[in-house]
A and B are shown apart, each in its own frame.
Chain A
Amino acid sequence: MKPEASEDKGRVEDEESAENPSDIVGENLVVGYGAGENVIENESMVAEPGKVTALVGPNGSGKSTLLKALANHLAPDEGVVSVDGSEINDLNKKEIARRLSMLSQESISPDSITVEELVTHGRYPHRGFFETMTKEDREAVERAIELAGIEHLRNRELGSLSGGQKQLAWIAMVLAQETGVLLLDEPTIFLDLRHQLEVMRIVETLRDESDVTVVVVLHDINQAARYSDRMVVLKDGCVSARGKPEEVLTEELLADVFGIEARVENTDRGPRIEPLRPTEDDG
């Protein structure tokens, strides 16, 4: 995904090295929304470079909040986030956007913009104020459209697309940013099964064929188990488990964190859970 050696001397320089996968680290993060209690209490999180890390947890466990802190959408009250060894506070906004991209849960856009125009906006951090699209920008847009599998939609207006098609277009936009770190906040929520699989196939391609470090918040534990290399399980703003899916996903953890009785089965596509019933003691 990332451009190899950069031949564009005059343009905005991509500082990150192309050889090593990027890493993103959040250290001792305390995150909240101003008044009231903190949502994340002094947690650290390291995404393994070049791998897919899934953040899971019940509603209100703070998984989206943690992602927002990593994406610099929320300033943590304490702690630091760093990408590729640079603290995020030391970088300007365009530098950040050239290193990490974030797809929020719900995105808004004018209805009459075409898919290709939307994807082109992904090149924003790579362009100066008066710069036109270079060959490189166009190639990045093409790669993103191809990877998202939406060639057939490129000239359609966003307003005419289904929810799933729209989501693929948005994913293509963040892919066009060509960052080392990609953060996705519940990318499959509200989508039909086919589009969920299409979205997760993109994540799978990134995992298998690129060096992009992906952190994805997922609601569906089975999806997380199948597509991630690492899982981080959150409960009440604290990490209760982290590691490989098959190590993390145990019947005890599901009972403890999610309050469900479930059966965990190990398959060749990773662990599969079958939720049975809510546990008795949870109030």
Chain B
Amino acid sequence: MSADHTNEETTADNRFNWLFDASLIILAATSTAVVVVAGLVQVSFGSYSMTFLEAWRAVFNLDVILDARVWNAFLFGGELPDIGERSLIVWNIRLPRVFVAVLVGANLAVSGAIFQAVTRNELASPFILGVSSGAGLAILLTLVVLPGLTIVIPLIVGQFVLSTSNLLPLFASLGGIAAFLVVYVIAWRGGTSPVRLVLAGVIVGTVFSSLQTALFFFADDIGVVQNAVAWTTGSLRGTDWEQVRIALPWTVAAVGLAVAGSRQLNVLLLGERTASSLGMSVERVRFALSGVAVLAAAASIAVAGIVGFVGLIVPHMVRNIVGSDYKKLIVGCLFAGPALMVAADVGARLGMGVLTGSEAQQIPVGIVTGLIGGPYFLYLMRRQQNMGEI
């Protein structure tokens, strides 16, 4: 048996050949265009009025983009040099929100894609294994039980102040991760299976959601309730570079691991038995990949709360376009997730203004993604005969 097929082209093995796939490139280009256009719309509107042209000039202001001190301020929290009023508003107030949306969209999409492979179910979302209910409960507990908490930790230089508002993101993420671990413990009996995991997710989700709803009765003022609703439906209101700094390292880690694990995901899709006879330690790989997905979900929860539907729809849309090869799917999600999230946030921030005329009104972005997600699934249901298993 000779291998005469193995010519120069295939022996010169290229790790990234698969990236040059027409549908993937089109998807990436379209998504990038959506992000740019929606981002430019976002920076052009706001209470400080400027024209489109002024806003766009501020975005592409090379004095800002090429200044290392500015980036030091943005990414590491250093002191911001004087960059002019318009640039300040665009770069320090409006653009960070777009960047956070990009990070949240990428995280949720990748997380959903992983969970869909792990559970072999294309209706799985980042929150299928209890993450959202755990995070929601943690959010309510923090807001209701520790409303005005301030802890001052004296340090040698100055002091470190912990208050409810800056503990909330941490608690929300930890709540989600804890719920995921509880789900795994419940599902474990000498090993686990997709069905057991999903069932355990439903069990934990039901109990935690009940507790979360019960806690609403202990919230004594409307502000706390609104804050809780914003967090549990997901909102990008008031996000700035601080949120970018929180989410970015985790996003990079989670996305890197997801891309590296895409071949494992592909083999996992062949079913547990096949994966196991091919030499995969299925339980270990499944837990590790779920952990990566939970990390991505937790990073997005920390900055935006629990944004629904993005992690469910995006992998689905991408799969319809590039197929179920996870190498392409994950990369596709990295583009399509931000596109959906940034576009939805335009609706969340500016939509109410268009509808009611009052510019101050904003709705949580999770409401918009839900309004997009429902009809999309209706459309799929009509078009596709069988949905469910990948």
Contacts and interface: CB of A to CB of B under 8 A. Distances in A.
Do A and B interact?
yes
A147 B270 CA distance: 22
A129 B284 CA distance: 14
Interface residues of B, number: 28
Given A121-B267, A124-B267, A113 B278 contact: no
Nearest to A103: B277
Given A107-B274, A113-B324, A143-B3, A132 B13 contact: yes
B10 to A, nearest CB: 6
B269 A147 contact: no
Interface string A88-103: 0000011111100110
B278 A97 contact: yes
Interface in B238-288: 260, 263, 266-267, 269-271, 273-274, 276-281
Residue in A94, A104, A117, A139 with the greatest tally of chain B CB atoms within 10 Å:
A139
Contacts of A71: 277
A108 B279 contact: no
Given A107-B270, A121-B267, A129-B260, A93 B13 contact: no
B279 A124 contact: yes
Contacts of A112: 323-325
Given A97-B279, A130-B260, A143 B269 contact: no
A271 interface: no
A138 B3 contact: yes
A121 B271 CA distance: 12
B104 to A, nearest CB: 28
Interface size class of A (residues with CB under 8 A): 35 or more
B382 interface: no
27 contacts: A73-B277, A93-B276, A93-B279, A93-B281, A96-B279, A97-B278, A97-B279, A101-B277, A102-B277, A104-B277, A107-B274, A108-B271, A108-B389, A109-B269, A109-B271, A112-B323, A124-B280, A125-B278, A132-B15, A133-B13, A135-B13, A138-B3, A138-B10, A139-B6, A146-B1, A147-B1, A174-B277
Interface of A: 1, 71, 73, 93-98, 101-102, 104, 107-113, 117-118, 121-122, 124-125, 129-130, 132-135, 138-139, 142-143, 146-147, 174, 177
The 3 closest A-B pairs by CB, nearest first: A97-B279, A125-B279, A139-B3
Interface of B: 1, 3, 5-6, 10-11, 13, 15, 260, 263, 266-267, 269-271, 273-274, 276-281, 323-325, 389-390
